[in-house]
Amino acid sequence: MEIIRKEMKLCMSCMEEHEVEIVRRSECSVYKGEEVDYEAVYEYCDRTQEYLEMEDMISQNDIAMKNAYRRKKGLLTTEDILAIRRKYNISQSDLAKMLGCGEKTITRYESHQIQDVVYDKMLKKIDTDPEWFLTLLKESRGSMALKAYERYYINAANILRGQKDDYLRKSILAQYAEYIDNEDYCGNKEPDLDVVVDTVNYLARRVQELYLVKLVKLMWYADALSFKRYDHSITGLAYQKMPMGTVPIAYQSIIQLEGINYEEIEFDNGGIGLKFHDSGRIGSGLTDDNKKILDDVIRDCGNISRRKIVERIHGEKAYMETCENRVIPYHLAKDLSLA
């Protein structure tokens, strides 16, 4: 028995006013043929040594017993269902409309009624798949108030955006698994994608007409210069030698990270370029030393043309001594042309 708290009140067991203990104790019951263990709450009178189950406790203990049954059967508990609603900030009646069930169904699921397997699977899918939530929401648009619909849509879209970014980050880091253990490939630093996003925005904020080719060259110079001065890179990215210069591993995915903004620009010759803009994100990933490195790189290379920066990269020892399509070792940055 665990004492939760004590209250001075009229005890309904001995019918005298005294300090009554509110306690929690383990119970075992049989529900739908299944034996379930759960924690029940009672009032306890130490004078009569009796446990009393008050009206609110009867309901609370019944839900606790049914939640124990739900867990045993792999079903969502009342708290789980409530958490899903709070996640999307959706009302009970509107969630019921989306699922195509009675208006009071979710209300009952969040209390005493145990949901069937079909609805349980639907609720679990909504929880893990905000894109499917949006699909159901759109199908139910006409059955709910416009302001409520817009609120639900914005919440779900934000969740989806964050979920995609989490997946993208895991995918990028998975591509770095073979490089992380080699400190010479990542510059004595594990890849830090928050710092990567902050670095891109810092460059986009200070360099006019920043396109992809120039961006990745400036990032390599910044990481290489940081390694030259401090024996560690800024971002932890590994760079590959390509015909057009240095390119971060997984750069196609990196530029899709939340917080990095660019637009596609069509050139007169029919080509397409990716032009990067400051997203306005104010990150705290960059140290003063990092910013000094970036400022120095921008001063030396920020205003030169794409062709000039590619030529400069091609003349760096680190580039020349690395085989085509291989990762450029950071120790070669000690001979970087930038001081």
In a domain, 153, yes or no: yes
Tens-place pLDDT, residues 277-334: 998 877 778 999 999 999 999 999 999 998 999 999 999 999 999 999 999 999 999 9
Beta bridge partners of 263: 275
Same domain, 64 and 187: no
Report DSSP state, residue 112.
T
Nearest-angstrom CA–CA distance, 288 and 298 = 15
Same domain, 102 and 199: no
In a domain, 101, yes or no: yes
Q: Residue 272 pLDDT > 90, yes or no? A: no
Q: Are 324 and 334 in contact (CB under 8 A)?
A: no
Same domain, 92 and 124: yes
pLDDT greater at residue 160 or residue 220: 220
Tens-place pLDDT, residues 69-121: 999 999 999 999 999 999 999 999 999 999 988 878 898 999 889 999 999 99
In a domain, 107, yes or no: yes
Same domain, 329 and 189: yes
In a domain, 171, yes or no: no
CA distances from 56 to 25, 171, 176 (A): 16, 49, 55
Question: pLDDT band at 260, cuts 50/70/90?
Answer: very high
CA angle 163, 169, 175 (to 5 degrees): 140
Same domain, 161 and 218: no
Same domain, 115 and 226: no
Radius of gyration of the chain (CA): 30
In a domain, 172, yes or no: no
Residue 238 half-sphere exposure toward CB, CA atoms < 13 A: 24
For 93, list phi and psi in degrees, rounded to 5: -65, -40
Domain that holds residue 18: 2-73
Tokens representing 310? Answer: 């590619």
Please give the average per-residue pLDDT across 212-234, as a whole number: 96
Residue 198 half-sphere exposure toward CB, CA atoms < 13 A: 16
Same domain, 324 and 206: yes
Same domain, 327 and 207: yes
The model's pTM: 0.66
State which of 12, 39, 73 marks the end of a domain.
73
Please give the average per-residue pLDDT across 24-36, as a whole number: 94
pLDDT for res 282 = 72
Q: What percent of the chain has pLDDT over 70?
A: 100
Tokens representing 127? Answer: 């929880």
Same domain, 216 and 87: no
Please state the domain count of the chain.
Answer: 3
pLDDT for res 270 = 66
Same domain, 92 and 59: no
Mean confidence (pLDDT) of the chain? 92
Q: Which long-range contacts (CB under 8 A, 24 or more apart) does 238-243 make?
A: 238/176, 238/179, 238/185, 238/186, 238/191, 238/327, 238/328, 239/327, 239/328, 240/325, 240/326, 240/327, 240/328, 241/319, 241/322, 241/323, 241/324, 241/325, 241/326, 241/327, 241/328, 242/324, 242/325, 243/324
Tens-place pLDDT, residues 168-213: 999 999 999 999 888 899 999 999 999 999 999 999 999 988 999 9
In a domain, 170, yes or no: no
Same domain, 38 and 153: no
Same domain, 195 and 277: yes
State which of 73, 96, 123 marks the end of a domain.
73
β-pair type (2-10, 17-31) = antiparallel
State which of 58, 73, 88 marks the end of a domain.
73
Q: In sequence order, what are the residues at sequence separation of 6 or more whose Cβ sits closer than 8 angstroms to the Cβ of residue 159?
A: 87, 88, 130
